[in-house]
């Protein structure tokens, strides 16, 4: 259907009234003008909306392009960070090992933690099948009992025990003998070396005198004194030394059935040996960790230096993220150090509790 303009309708309507001179319908014309004005306003509004949408679309397109540029900038690694994991002398995998690579960690952590007793057992297994022992009728288990008895008498299982004559360690070796054995000065910081050195020196005396009591006397007074008296010297210290070790041997022989057996120390000896082992290992662990932290700080210093030299926001952001990761790694080292400190504190408490129990038992016996 064809729609006639409003003006045409008005003229048609007026013509229908009179066939003479046309008359203009003023009201219809006004209505027509009002309709035209409304349509023009709607068209202007639609044009404004269209312009706004076009402008917004352009802005969003610009934003998407800017975001894509940012994504492209952030992809990949900056050249400034590619070699940070392997800095000369400060390789990250070595400085921050996932497994604790501190050489003293084995004496502090883990289900199979190294104790003084387990180290004694290792030494006994190492030397227990020596032909010189078999020649005097001593097997590996018996050697373990004799050797553990010697350690108890010499140091009471204390790694840092030192005598007025400068004898040192679990087996109380003097510096001159340590030099002869080739373990000086390393034995000052290595309890296993103290034990192995003591066992080697004892084996020398066994080969020389073909007797455990004479070998023990030579260990205490020197081989010259044993040769001089053709037996155990008449020194009270040496006489008591051999007697006490023989008594300790009998105690251990009644309970040790294997050269590598553990769990054979008395409660008092356990507390002393644990405090000694853990405290000594903790100090050494801290010293090693200090070197690690020095390397960590050197790595962090290099990262910060590169941030100041970065040529783009991308490089600066990458290096800043890497610096945060480096600090987190350092926090891991410090956390392990705190765990070691707690371990040493509890070992000391354990020895104090054992001493308290021993004193209480003594006083209860006196008052009965």
Secondary structure class of 51 (helix, strand, coil): helix
CB 208 within 8 A of CB 191: no
pLDDT reported for residue 47: 74
* Rounded Cα gap, residues 357 and 355, in angstroms: 5
Residue spans of the domains in the chain: they are 86-101+274-367, 116-261
* Rounded Cα gap, residues 144 and 133, in angstroms: 11
Would strands 86-87 and 90-91 be described as parallel, antiparallel, or unpaired? antiparallel
* Rounded Cα gap, residues 123 and 309, in angstroms: 56
pLDDT reported for residue 10: 46
CATH number of 116-261: 1.10.530.10
Beta strand spans in the chain (E): 86-87, 90-91
pLDDT reported for residue 73: 52
pLDDT reported for residue 34: 72
Sign of CA dihedral 9, 13, 14, 15: positive
User: What is the number of other CB atoms lying within 10 angstroms of the CB of residue 325?
Assistant: 14
Residue with tokens 């209505």: 31
Q: Name residues whose C-beta falls within 8 Å of residue 198's C-beta, 6 or more positions apart in sequence.
A: 123, 147, 150, 151, 154, 169, 170, 171, 172, 173
pLDDT reported for residue 11: 43
pLDDT reported for residue 12: 47
User: Please, what are the averages of pLDDT over each run of 10 residues along the chain (368 residues)?
Assistant: 47 48 67 72 76 72 70 58 71 76 94 96 98 98 99 98 97 98 98 99 99 99 98 98 99 98 95 95 95 89 90 86 88 93 90 73 62
pLDDT reported for residue 173: 99
Among residues 244, 265, 237, 243, the alpha carbon closest in space to that of 167 is found at 237
pLDDT reported for residue 37: 73
Q: Name residues whose C-beta falls within 8 Å of residue 104's C-beta, 6 or more positions apart in sequence.
A: 281, 282, 284, 285, 288
pLDDT reported for residue 362: 62
Active-site amino acid positions: 154
Gyration radius of the chain over CA positions: 46
Structure tokens at 194: 């103290």
- pTM (predicted TM-score): 0.73
pLDDT reported for residue 52: 76
| DSSP states along 130-193 | -HHHHHTT--HHHHHHHHHHHHHHHHTT-TT-B-TT--BTTTTB-HHHHHHHT-TTGGGS-HHH
pLDDT reported for residue 4: 46
pLDDT reported for residue 211: 98
């Amino acid at each position: 259907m064809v729609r006639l303009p409003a003006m045409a309708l008005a003229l048609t309507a007026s013509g229908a009234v009179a066939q003479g001179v046309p008359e203009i319908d003023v009201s219809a014309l006004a209505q027509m003008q009002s309709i035209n004005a409304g349509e023009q306003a709607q068209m202007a509004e639609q044009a404004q909306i269209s312009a706004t949408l076009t402008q917004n679309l352009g802005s969003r397109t610009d934003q998407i392009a800017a975001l894509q540029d940012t994504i492209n900038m952030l992809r990949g690694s900056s050249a400034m960070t590619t070699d940070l994991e392997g800095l000369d002398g400060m390789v990250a995998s070595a400085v921050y090992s996932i497994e604790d690579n501190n050489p003293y960690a084995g004496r502090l952590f883990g289900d199979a933690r190294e104790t003084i007793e387990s180290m004694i057992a290792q030494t006994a297994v190492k030397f227990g099948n020596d032909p010189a022992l078999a020649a005097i009728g001593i097997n590996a288990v018996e050697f373990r009992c004799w050797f553990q008895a010697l350690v108890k008498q010499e140091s009471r299982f204390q790694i840092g025990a030192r005598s007025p004559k400068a004898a040192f360690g679990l087996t109380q070796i003097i510096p001159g003998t340590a030099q002869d054995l080739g373990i000086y000065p390393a034995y000052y910081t290595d309890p296993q070396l103290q034990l192995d050195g003591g066992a080697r020196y004892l084996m020398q005396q066994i080969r020389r005198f073909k007797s455990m009591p004479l070998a023990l006397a030579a260990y205490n007074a020197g081989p010259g004194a044993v040769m001089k008296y053709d037996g155990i010297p008449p020194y009270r210290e040496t006489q008591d030394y051999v007697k006490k070790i023989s008594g300790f041997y009998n105690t251990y022989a009644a309970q040790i059935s294997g050269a590598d057996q553990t769990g054979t120390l008395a409660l008092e000896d356990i507390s002393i040996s644990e405090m000694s082992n853990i405290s000594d290992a903790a100090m050494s662990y801290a010293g090693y960790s200090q070197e690690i932290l020095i390397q960590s700080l050197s790595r962090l210093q290099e990262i910060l230096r590169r941030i100041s030299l970065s040529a783009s926001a991308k490089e600066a952001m990458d290096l800043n993220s890497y610096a945060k990761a480096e600090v987190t790694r350092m926090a891991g080292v410090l956390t392990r150090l705190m765990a070691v400190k707690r371990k040493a504190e509890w070992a000391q408490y354990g020895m104090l509790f054992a001493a308290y129990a021993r004193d209480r038992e003594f006083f209860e016996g006196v008052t009965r």
